Structure 1
Amino acid sequence: MPSGPTRTRVRIVHQSLLTQEFLVVDTETNGKAGDACELTEVGAVLVGGGELHDRWETLCAVHAPLSRGVQRLTGITQAMVDAAPAAETTLPELAELLEDRVLVAHSASFDVRVLRQAFDRAGLDWPDPPTLCTVAMARRLHPLARQRKLALLAGSLGIDVEVSHRALADAETCARVFCALFPKLCANAITVADAVALLRPARPRRARAGRTDGGATLQGVRRRAPAMGHLPDAPGVYVFRNEAGQPLYVGKSVSLRRRAAAHFAPSSTDGDWSARVESVDHVETRSELGALLEEQRLIGELLPPGNVRDKHRDRFVYLRCRFDIAFPVLEVAPEPAPGHAVNVGPLASRAGALELVEQLNSLFGLRHCGRSLPRRPHPSAYGQMGRCASPCLGDLDPNAYRRKLDEALALFTRRDTVGGVPASTHPLLRHVDEQMRRAAAAERYERAAWLRRRRARLEELLAALGEDVAAAHARPRLVLASHRGVRGWDAFWLVGGRVADHGPLDDVQDGVARTVRALRDTGPGTVPHLAPADVGRQRIAETWLRGRVVPTLELDPEPARRRIAAFLRAHGVPEPPADGVGAPDARRGAPAPPLSPRGRTAAR
């Protein structure tokens, strides 16, 4: 039979949440790490029945002097801790308060570690009560709160915070957060044990950064490399398969032979799939971008167990507007929005994109809140300043708001020209210039000066965000890409905000026909409806092209067939054979037959 604290803990965890008492605790320390960390103050609040009851607090003496930074942050001075009682005299009282109660804290692991260390130094037994963490409660029961620092979390729940970084004040704030989330906790758990299990952090197997094989290892397993003599030293995608022909891992490289062999080098990390490899297939491309798109397609089709979902590791983001709600908002996300939407980007800075959203919202009176429209009896702060049309009041015509939104988006979806040449000044800057002229004509000189300052900032912002801050569908184009040492081109048709077509380009006639077909399927100037499967391909293509100089033919306005043919000829694309029958497989870089889920690539 368990005895002492263990027996008490077993009894508590089987108690009902509705009848259990909770002690919400917060600690302050000297700010040092490890064994040098010392407790300076403890605050506790008794909670029962969803209400706050008794309060308790104490300062604790420390051995090492407090730093000036800690004194400024907490307001606890050296004189205060010098006059405080020793921990040996105050902690037994805290142990009595914890008896038969559940400990609650914000980032509870930190407070428990500090208290356990203080009890050990004082020669006291740690009562080891069941513990609940309000950070875990917020993550599980209040997921819309992105910021989980105590004051910010309390604000998201409508709780006022007046004092921070003092133990009792923070314990009271934490107790109010706990009470606000307590009904949701009771709806998902019956006993204390259920609540502890519900808030226990999940610990899935995590992959190392940069790896796409799942991160698992098989130590001591001999890896036998399959035959790879048929792999070329060219860009493309390779697929490792097991004895039954099932795909294990998909990878891409600008040198298929070297990259595939590197998985079986003595210095490479073991993967849980590498010991089962029996064969390798490949698809050859003529460019790195072609290999990237083919890799993304094959991973989606074959679902190999060795690949995990790719995470964006670059800085690019999109400014996007989705039209699936009555009052659409501008938002910033790492990838284009699927469905009926306008996507501006990719943009080179998330902070810059967020500032651009704020600038557009203020200039056009658009919503500053999220996609869920709150209902308010009074305008928000932006509405009171005249920078928001305040649809939250419930009396705004959606069509009037949509006209304002369309006016803002038009600055990124049209390509103005001057004398047949694209204008050098961004439409957004020209819009602000026109607003300045109107303000000056109306003798509103303060507004004109405000607009002049805003224009200067917008000019800096647009320059920092990238080459061409425009909607993805507003610049249809044909792009040619190749890799050093490879004959021929991969062609990419970026039309309608998506990769409408891509692949090796055989001859001029093939390129003209595919261009006409891409423009017919998705004409220039239309707002796209991006399928979810196209989102990843569009982002891969646009981010790869950023900063690279490649042959490009603009397709808006739609060029004549002879102009398309002239562009292709100028970059060495061959004419079709006179008899109409070619032998493209004889050229290096010709496309390999498509891979099936189980079969191998046919002989070339």
Structure 2
Amino acid sequence: MAKDARWSQTAIADLGRPLSDVTFCVVDLETTGGSPTNGSKITEVGAVKVHGGEVLGEFQTLVNPDESIPAFITVLTGITDAMVLEAPRIAEVLPSFLEFARGTVLVAHNARFDTGFLKHAARELEIPWPTFEVLDTVTLARRVLLKDEVRNVKLSTLAAHVGAATTPNHRALDDARATVDVLHHLIGRLGSFGVHSLEETRDFTSTVTPQQRRKRHLADRLPHTPGVYLFRDRADEVLYVGTSRDVRTRVRSYFTKAETRTRMGEMVNLAERVEAVTCATTLEAQVRELRLIARHRPPYNRRSKFPERTTWIRLTVEPWPRLSIVGKVTPDAVHVGPFRGRADAAAALDALHEEFQVRQCTQRLGKAPRSSPCVLAAMGRCLSPCDQTVSPERYAEEVERLRAALESDPEAVVARLGRRMADLAGEERYEDAAVVRDRLASLVRGLTRTQKLLEVTREPEIVAASPHPDGWEMHVVRHGRLAAAGVLPHGRPYEAWLDQLLATAESVEPGAGPVPAGTVEEVEVVRRWLVSPGVRIVRGQWHATFPGAARHVR
């Protein structure tokens, strides 16, 4: 598959916001108790705005809580009822603080406490809470400082450890000033861990095991480009395959983020190296990921490992055709699907048999069968070719009616089952109505999926483009398979460049059924890109036709 080789190193600014460029608002509160949900109120707000190590401004005010301050709080903070009597209430203070903190990253020591009180006050006052990013110096200290450096991570302990200019004293502004010094010290220490941006800091403060953190170097030489990454174990077997717009940043996240999936933690512990496959476009990366998963079948990938395991409904080709559930597509028959599983296909099959009187028996019948009819014939649900009750011409008409529903619009099935559902509901047989509804839903989903696949796989060649920062992403799709990808640079002659891309594109031969040249998932990924905003068809007449079955999905 062709690729554009012009990728250059992404600028540092593109990898995240350097901590030196971030404006922080370090905030501290004094309150009447430990939780706003228990009725505790804010009595003082103090905040310091800093950027690049310089103080930009300070905010401080007492707050009238409209209640008496408990004696033990007065002993702790020195704030008395008399001191807050003339102070503004939180309804006046909160808007002023939010304006002061606008556009900053909030920082607090035990941030959940401070932001919890502020958010609670905002809800009570019906003031929208801005989407602040938050850093907690408690969490940061636990990640950065060694256990033998400090006995605990209390603000007073850390302030003394870093030599803060202000001693914490349970007053909001002084504690915020001390927290600023602690923050600056911790940021200085982050550099030794290779953490320089806000995004990396946020990842670094997540809970990860020491084993995961020690393997962070595995991402160091990976590219900042779209592509696929493969985790390999000591025996060089592929453990996991993934894709990203920025391979290096994504892989680093496995070693710095809290990974809630236990299987991923196990995988990282087994990994010994990470291999990257650079791709010209995101679509190419997505397709390559699917192909690599299918090839290697990594134990830690849950999806796409067995693309050959599909379930279809087939209209057989024989003297007296019937519907059958199969696992493979053949070139000589009409197929519907794939379905999510055999049960889903069986439900769709039942829906078709509600409308069409083709035989449901599985034995092969010759042109002139001679056997006894089954109970379905007596019920009027089968034309009964087994005892020659029906002529070949009449049976062929029914088959053609069925074929039309499978290939274009299942209107007849939808109408019949719709009436059936209404009748059952009118009789208050709601469970039976739900069964009919589910059968119809399975059928419509399967038909819609088939028709969307055929839109792409029937086209010998589609060349399409979408905007890219450096020019245009160009993709060549042949019979549903991605054959080439590249980026046409701005100012480059279009025709000559495209001719070169086409010359290096993979040759693709059509095959059988709705998915002749690629897996179902690949075709669906390609089609989603084709119908995405901004995509233009450069060569070929393809367009999304929104086939008949899709109009019944809702």
Pairwise same-fold verdict (TM > 0.5): no
- Report the TM-score when normalising by structure 2: 0.33
Structure with bigger helix share is 2
